[in-house]
Structures are given as C-alpha cells and as structure tokens.
Amino acid sequence: MLTALAVVRAQSLFATAMLSGAFSLLSALLFVTLDAVDVAFTEAAVGAGISTVLMLGTLALTARFERPATHSPVIPLFVVFVTGAALIYGTLDMPNFGDPNAPAQVHLAPDFIQNSPHEIDVPNIVTAILASYRGFDTLGEVAVVFTAGVGVLLLLSGLRHRRRRQGKEDS
Amino acid sequence: MVKEFGLDWTFVIGHLNYWLFIILMMTGLYIVVAKGNLVKKIVGLNIFQTAVFMLYISVGKVKGGTAPIFPVDMNIDPDVLYSNPLPHVLILTAIVVGVATTSLGLALAVRIREEYGTIEEDSIQKIDRDTCLQDANLHSEVASEPR
C-alpha cells in the first residue's frame, strides 16, 4: 500500500520500476497468508521478476525521468473518488471475509475438493483444476501469451536495423 | 439485517479487506489517469490489476482453512478445511495474461519513443497536432493553386 503511494510520488522512473517490483513481492506475501501459495509463486516469479526486468529494459530504451505534471490533478481525483465510492457501495452486500457459507464457497469448490482426488489424483487441487477441469481456459491463456509475444516481436524487430541506418545517415 | 453505517464491528472488520483493496485499486486508477508518462501508466495498470487479484483471492479464503493441497500420500483427512481453489486458478491465468499485456504495452512505449522521441503524453499530443496542422496547410496550398 505504501509502496503504491510512493509510486505516485516518485519522479525517477527507475525508482518506480523498483517500487513496483517491491509491491509485487509484498502482494505475493499477502497471497501466502490468504492460502494461495500457487498464486504467490507466480506473482513473485512473474510480477516481481519478469515485469521488473521488462520495465528496466524499457527504461534503458526510453527516458529515465518523467516530467512533472502540467495540468491539475483535480479532475482525475474526482473521477477516482466517485469510482471508489461506487465500488465500496457495491461491497456492502458482500459476505464477510472468510465466511465458509459465502455463495462463492458452496457451489463449485466443494465438488472440486471432493472429486479431484479420485478423478485426477494430483495432490494439488489448483493444478488439477488448471490443467484438467479448466484445460481449455489454459489453452486460451497460452494463445494470448503467444499473440502478445508475436506482437512484441513485430513491434521491436526492426529496432536494431533502423538504429544502424540512422547512424549511417548521421555520419 | 446488519446496520450498515452504525458501529457493527463484525461487519466493518469483515469488509475492511475489500475496502483496502478498493483503495489500492483507486491508487492504480489515479496513476493511469493523472500521470502523463507512458511507463508510469503501465505501472499504475499493474497496481490496479494486482488489487483485483487480491480481491479475488480474499473472496476464496475460508476462515480456518488451509492451502488447497492434499498430503502427498493422498490420505485425505475429511476434517481439514481447504480454501476455495477456483479463484486461485483464475488468478493464475490472469497473472500470466497480465504480464503479456504489460510486455505489449512496454513494447508500444519503446516504439512510440522511437517515432516521437518522447514518452510523455502531452508532448506526443503536441507533436501530433503540429503534424496535422502542417498537413492541413500543405493540402490547402495545393488546393488553392491555380490550375
């Protein structure tokens, strides 16, 4: 939470990248306390690791500092407060934290927990659901990642070539 | 029914987690809307995204529950309470997709920097406006030339 607020203030983009890495690591710790160890794994590896590396790579290719804002932050603040108030109003109907009788807990989850030992025989229920019950979902995810990879390659493929050509024109 | 704005402490404590995540979400949204730097906007988007993940995971938590992993010998004790594994699966997928979008956004930022020489939103807008004006002038000159 504090790291997020620091990100708002920091002018140096390098500091921003580092703070977002720290934020991911802290959120991974939170996931462990909320029993989601697999998610914590992924968040620590992907959020704190790969994202930070990507950020640093981008910073190396672009600018290190951001310019201070030129227009006033009143309208964004207003928008943010209205949205936040609406969302908090929406949570008033939600079940209490950790309630075992909440609607999210009583329909699908007991089925998965009871049946996956016989049907899939994998100790980790999350793995069983990810790879088997929701296998098509994971296939779609792989497709998304592949598309993103192709997109990044297409966007950046000419970079070195164009740089070299520019260097020749300059000299 | 619970008193929503009174001093019903079980209600307040039970919903505090949602409210904290919403504040975090709004911090991310503020960065996206108010900051002009494209890389910073992507960081804000990441914060927003992580807040949504936290919201989902906290919905799946069961009080007194443990991580949804059976013992390795598969001797399952029926008394053990497990947290809901379904949100975990969904969020695992979402994290990976989130990184894919982040990398695509950063690649776009690099490309924009290459083309415009800046990643600040207002300078990009200014350059765009200038090019448009030049274009318009050029075309009006061409149109007004005598045949």
Q: Is residue B51 included in any domain, yes or no?
A: yes
Residues 6+ apart with CB under 8 A from A80: B26, B29, B30, B33
Question: Which residues in chain A are closer than 8 Å to B125, comparing Cβ atoms?
Answer: none
The CA distance from B82 to B66, in Å, is 5
Contact between B68 and A124 using a beta-carbon 8 Å cutoff: yes
Q: Give domain status of residue A45, yes or no.
A: yes
How many beta-carbon pairs under 8 angstroms link A with B?
272
Q: What is the pLDDT of residue B56?
A: 87
| Three-state SS letters, chain B | CCCCCCCCHHHHHHHHHHHHHHHHHHHHHHHHHHCCEHHHHHHHHHHHHHHHHHHHHHHHCCCCCECCECCCCCCCCCCCCECCHHHHHHHHHHHHHHHHHHHHHHHHHHHHHHHHCCCEHHHHHHHHHHHHHHHHHHHHHHHHCCC
Q: CA triplet A117, A123, A126: central angle to 5 degrees?
A: 95
What mean pLDDT value characterizes chain A?
A: 77
* Number of Cβ atoms within 10 Å of the Cβ of B122: 13
User: Would B100 be classed as within a structural domain?
Assistant: yes
Question: B47 pLDDT exceeds 80?
Answer: yes
With respect to residue A58, please indicate whether it lies within any of the assigned structural domains: yes
Lookup result for tokens 């620590």: A44
- Domain of A23 in residue numbering reads as 1-66
A132 assigned to some structural domain: yes
The distance from CA B124 to its chain's CA centroid, rounded to whole angstroms, is 23
Confidence at residue A130, expressed as pLDDT on a 0 to 100 scale: 76
Look at A24 and B6; give whichever has higher pLDDT. Answer: A24
Confidence band (pLDDT; 50, 70, 90) for B26? confident
How many domains are there within chain B? 1
Q: How many CB atoms lie within 10 A of CB A20?
A: 27
B39 vs chain A: nearest CA distance in angstroms?
8
Q: Of A33, A66, A99, which residue constitutes the final position of a domain?
A: A66
User: B48 to chain A: nearest residue by CA?
Assistant: A4
Given a contact cutoff of 8 angstroms between Cβ atoms, the answer to whether B109 and A58 are in contact is yes
Residue B92 lies in a domain: yes
Instruction: Give the Cα separation of B73 and B128 in Å (integer).
Output: 65
Give the least confident one: A5-9, A113-117, A142-146.
A5-9
Closest CA to A127 of B3, B130, B14, B85: B85
Task: Give the pLDDT of residue B74.
Answer: 66
pLDDT in tens, A46-68: 888 888 888 888 888 776 676 66
Inside any domain, residue A39: yes
Is B2 within a domain? Answer: no
Within-domain flag for A141:
yes
CA distance linking residue B134 with residue B27, whole number of Å: 39
Domain finish residue from A27, A44, A66: A66
Q: Decide if B22 and A91 are in contact by the 8 Å CB cutoff.
A: yes
Q: What is the pLDDT of residue B1?
A: 45
Q: What is the pLDDT of residues B7-21, one digit of tens each?
A: 677 777 777 778 888
Longest dimension (CA), chain B: 92
Confidence of residue A9 (pLDDT cuts 50, 70, 90): low
pLDDT reported for residue B2: 46
B52-84 pLDDT, tens digit per residue, is 988 888 887 877 777 777 776 666 666 777 778
Question: pLDDT tens digits, residue range B80-134?
Answer: 777 788 888 888 888 888 888 888 988 888 888 888 877 777 788 888 888 888 9
pLDDT at A169: 66
Read off the pLDDT of residues A75-133 as tens digits, 9 standing for 90 and up.
Answer: 888 888 888 888 888 888 777 777 777 777 777 777 777 777 777 777 777 777 777 77
Alpha carbons within 13 angstroms on the beta-carbon side of residue B53 total 31
Which of the four pLDDT bands, split at 50, 70 and 90, describes residue B43?
Answer: confident
> What are residue A12's phi and psi, to 5 degrees?
-75, 125
Does some domain include residue A83?
no
Asked whether residue B146 is domain-assigned, the answer is no
What is the percentage of chain A residues whose pLDDT exceeds 90?
0
A97: left (phi over 0), alpha (psi -120 to 50) or beta: beta
Asked if A92 and B122 come within 8 Å (Cβ–Cβ), the reply is no
* CA distance linking residue B111 with residue B129, whole number of Å: 19
Note whether ipTM > 0.95 here.
no
Residue A59 lies in a domain: yes
Q: Which of A1, A3, A5, A8 to mutate to test the interface with B (most CBs of B within 10 A)?
A: A8
Asked if B111's CB is within 8 angstroms of A156's CB, the reply is yes
Residue B60 Cα, gap to closest chain A Cα (Å): 7
Domain count, chain A: 2
The angle formed by the CA atoms of residues A67, B43 and A83, to the nearest 5 degrees, is: 100
- Domain-located, residue B24: yes
pLDDT for the residue A8: 59
Contacts of B75 in chain A (CB under 8 A): none
Interface of A with B in 37-96 (CB under 8 A): 37-39, 42-43, 46-47, 50-51, 54-55, 57-59, 61-63, 66-67, 69-71, 73, 76-77, 79-81, 83-84, 87-88, 91-92, 94-96
Q: Is residue A88 included in any domain, yes or no?
A: no
Among A35, A67, A132, the residue to mutate for chain B (most B Cβ within 10 A): A35
CATH number at residue B102: 1.10.287.3510
Q: Which residues lie closer than 8 Å to A25 by C-beta, 6 or more apart?
A: A44, A47, A48
Distance from CA of A38 to the nearest CA of B (A): 7
The reported pLDDT for the residue numbered B82 is 78
User: Which of A37, A54, A134 is closest, CB to CB, to B89?
Assistant: A134
The residue to which tokens 């992507």 are assigned: B42
Write down the pLDDT at residue A54: 85
Sign of the C-alpha dihedral computed for residues A91, A94, A99 and A104 taken in this order:
negative
What would the pLDDT profile of B79-90 be if each residue is shown by its tens digit? 777 778 888 888
Query: Which residue range is the domain that position B88 belongs to?
Result: 9-64+84-141
**Percent of chain A topping pLDDT 70:** 81
**Rounded CA gap, B120 and B118, in Å?**
6
Tell me how crowded residue A107 is: count the other CB atoms within 10 A of its CB: 10
